[in-house]
Structure 1
Amino acid sequence: MAAIAQNSVVTITYNLSVTDDEQQKVLVETADAEAPMVFLFGHSGLPEEFEKQLDGKNPGDSFSFSLTPEQGYGDYDEQAVVQIPKDVFLVDGKLDDEMLQPGNYLPMADNEGHHMQAKVIEVGDEQVTMDFNHPLAGMVMHFDGQVADVRPATAEELAHGHVHGEGGHHH
């Protein structure tokens, strides 16, 4: 049985809670046995401290840890809330009103072609207010879960930088 280490394919189940303004834990995400989280350890893009907490664990091991904003997705940045001209969202000269609903996350790209997600905050007559902060920025995250499986990554997975097959990427 393999322990979690660099270049392992890791399958976990967990509950993710965040601390709200009243310092209460609020469940925001669950990865269960039907839809576990599967990732390539050391190449996941997940916070470094998240992976550090799982390093060396074996299938069947439980985990429970918290990450501060600094260990997770950083503090909430007011500068990441921006006004974008409404015409940027035109598709074939038309505005998709269903897409531009407050609360929706939209795929966006910056001038250099870097892809990111942004949340629609407000739709005005001329501008759309978008929030480019990570949804978990500024939050203390609490993870409680179990390691379901660990296996060595294939050469193809390592070359591509992501998991293939069950729970992973399909080409």
Structure 2
Amino acid sequence: MNCRPHHRARTNRLSILFVLIAAICAACAWVTWLERPAVAADQATIEEGATVTFSYSFTVPGTVPTIYSDVGTFVQGKHQILPVVERELAGLHPGDEKTVEVTPEEGFGPYDEQKKANVPRASLPEGVKEGDVVEDQNGRVATITTISDTGAVMDYNHPLAGKRFVMQIKVLKVEKPS
């Protein structure tokens, strides 16, 4: 009995299988390459003076998943947003996403007990409750932390003062500087 033809047939099948696997891998790599985000030569980059529109959300580790999200616009280099965020977004393009971890020092500073004030209950708007954010008679924004029959405590610290937080950012649009 001659086993050689059988061995040759198995070798041919393995060779064909190997070629098919290599072709599938090459096709997958090609499709992945085609689907990559393209950055056109004329597509704007976040650089000094560029107007940037971006979506963002804030999360504080250890709390609810997202505490705030919105869309904003700023001009790079004009210090209209947190410096750490401006620095991290430099060089990005529309469609790019970035996660920025912000320390209290880079964010809204340390929490300051001196920024709390006791106010008479009568000076508060009707129907206000603890946790509400209000504007005082001088236009300053504060959070009402406690309310009693006679008064309330207004906290003028930024809600993220003293907190480490994470910003999830997506660049929506970049207009080149004029």
Q: Same fold by TM (over 0.5)?
A: yes
Task: State yes or no: 1:134 paired with 2:158.
Answer: yes
Unaligned runs of 5+ in 1: 90-95, 155-171
Per-residue CA shift, 1:48-98, capped at 9, x if unaligned? 112111122111222112000110001111221221233444xxxxxx322
Per-residue CA shift, 1:90-115, capped at 9, x if unaligned? xxxxxx322x31111112355xxxx4
Q: Residues 111 and 161 of structure 2 are in contact (CA less than 8 Å); yes or no, is this contact kept in structure 1?
A: yes
Q: Residues 60 and 146 of structure 1 are in contact (CA less than 8 Å); yes or no, is this contact kept in structure 2?
A: yes
What root-mean-square deviation, in Å, do the aligned CA atoms of Structure 1 and Structure 2 show?
A: 2.3
Residues of 2 paired with 1:43 and 1:28: CA distance? Answer: 26
Instruction: State which of 88, 91, 105 in structure 1 corresponds to 2:133.
Output: 105
Q: In the TM superposition, what are the counterparts of 1:37-76 in structure 2 within 5 Å?
A: 37-43=72-78, 45-76=80-111
Q: Residues 130 and 145 of structure 2 are in contact (CA less than 8 Å); yes or no, is this contact kept in structure 1?
A: yes
Q: Residues 48 and 177 of structure 2 are in contact (CA less than 8 Å); yes or no, is this contact kept in structure 1?
A: no
Instruction: State which of 140, 152, 156 in structure 2 corresponds to 1:116.
Output: 140
Match of 1:26, SS state, is: coil
CA separation of 1:117 and 1:6: change in aligned 2, threshold 3 A: farther
Question: Higher helix proportion, which one?
Answer: 2
Percent identical pairs in the alignment equals 27
Match of 2:87, SS state, is: helix
The structure whose Rg is larger is 2
Task: State yes or no: 1:151 paired with 2:175.
Answer: yes
Find the counterpart in structure 1 of residue 118 from structure 2: 83
Q: Residues 19 and 139 of structure 1 are in contact (CA less than 8 Å); yes or no, is this contact kept in structure 2?
A: no
CA separation of 1:8 and 1:49: change in aligned 2, threshold 3 A: same
CA separation of 1:72 and 1:109: change in aligned 2, threshold 3 A: farther
Q: Residues 16 and 30 of structure 1 are in contact (CA less than 8 Å); yes or no, is this contact kept in structure 2?
A: yes
The Cα shift of 1:43 comes to 3.7
The one-letter amino acid paired with 2:100 is F
Match of 2:88, SS state, is: helix
Residues of 2 paired with 1:8 and 1:143: CA distance? Answer: 21
The Cα shift of 1:146 comes to 1.6
The one-letter amino acid paired with 2:72 is M
Task: State yes or no: 1:15 paired with 2:53.
Answer: no
Match of 2:65, SS state, is: strand
Residues of 2 paired with 1:17 and 1:26: CA distance? Answer: 6
Residues of 2 paired with 1:108 and 1:73: CA distance? Answer: 20
Find the counterpart in structure 1 of residue 66 from structure 2: 27
Calculate the TM-score normalised by the size of structure 1: 0.68
